[in-house]
Structure 1
Amino acid sequence: MKIEIWSDYVCPFCYIGKRRMEKALELFPHKEQAEIVFRSFELDPTAKKEYDLSIHEIIAQKYGISVEEAKRANNDVAKQAESVGLTFRFEEMKPTNTFDAHRLAKYADKKGKGREMHERLFYAYFTESKLISDHQVLVELAEEIGLDGDEVKQVLSSGHLEEEVRKDEQEASRLGVRGVPFFVINRKYAISGAQPTEVFLKSFQKIWDEENSSSPLKPLAADGGGLCNDQSCEM
């Protein structure tokens, strides 16, 4: 079962949804058969690398609400994060552009460290309040999970992997993805948003049953009315 996840590292519900999905997989009987693939998505491709405004002020301006209203909304999100074991520090958060973070994640994928890098980027932004557009910060995060710092510097200082990030974004547009997190399973099923763990688990089981049915046919009536097999006939 292939699970593709479109998400962005400054998206709070992407981190919450990721954790809920992971908890569902822990309970899923066939979790060893699940392949997770992270896809790139930028909530705001025009975002600056640094802002003089707080995340509360940015959200207030974006949605036309007061800063106090933005704070209350963020506090509600923080409580949802806490319910799945995450700590969101909105007061110290550093809003930024995530394009280079996505390029780093693509590099980590190629080195077999994709899942570790995705988790480290989310944690760095939401919990440690790191500026995840800063190349030195990205190098340090990459080194922490075992990647070569010099190689990462070369990737970030060049245009390497830009096309792969853009390809994911174009694919999201083709699939009709309008918001993240967005989960695509076996390129046939979609789950939108940070759904409860129970929803993920039920969806995984339903998809598994449908995809692994021994027959492509769905019965429309119960057994009865007479049936013969190679051994006998039942009346």
Structure 2
Amino acid sequence: MRVTRTGSAGVRASALLGLALVTGCTAVGSGGGLEPAGPRLRAQAEPSREAVSTGGLAALTLAQGDVAGHTVREPAPDERVEQRDVEADGPCRALAHVLAGAAAGDPSGATARRVVGSGTATSVLLATHEGQGGVDAAQASVAAVNRAADECAGGFAYRLGDREQRITEVTREVAPRGADQAVAFGVRMEKSGTPARGRVILLRKGSSIAYITALGTDRSAAVPAEVVEAQLVKLS
């Protein structure tokens, strides 16, 4: 199935990072507050060139007790998504993979966790590109998602299993600090004809990328700040 694009406008800027808890608390990055809008790839002063092996992913993966007030567990079999489960091609493919719950690019290994609490269920997929060139491959994966968000901002459709997923809008949001690269997006979608929202955050450190996603109703969808900060601590 080819991805159907419903518009070609550039990503619309969003004034605030959509990391608000369902309870109304403001989400923060590792720097203790929201950053003003800036470059889509937010860089640290000393980016890491470390290539993490597949075996080293366990130490970077969230575990029970890492996120205060939340339960961390492995996803159930029917919650796991691989790239092969997503029918998408063209310029929107990388973003379709991430929204479905898979990694972008061609990682050498990945771990998945579900973080439940504060009225939200957040998916965290941690992928690594090991070996020589691993950092460059991770950077290319982030760049592919960025291009897809720009080119498919007006909406597109993809298929996950036997279900069509229709995205009606993609907006860029302010990314948290603390990683070599970080990007954040808000999406509007239709699920079985019902309006819904989602939020996506990518955090890259060296050759590893954390893909953090949350889905919610049309009125709210949130990634708890505690989840982002806990993953940043693991990556640091």
TM-score by length of 1: 0.24
Query: Which structure has greater strand proportion?
Result: 2
Query: Which structure has greater helix proportion?
Result: 1
Q: Rg: which structure is higher?
A: 1
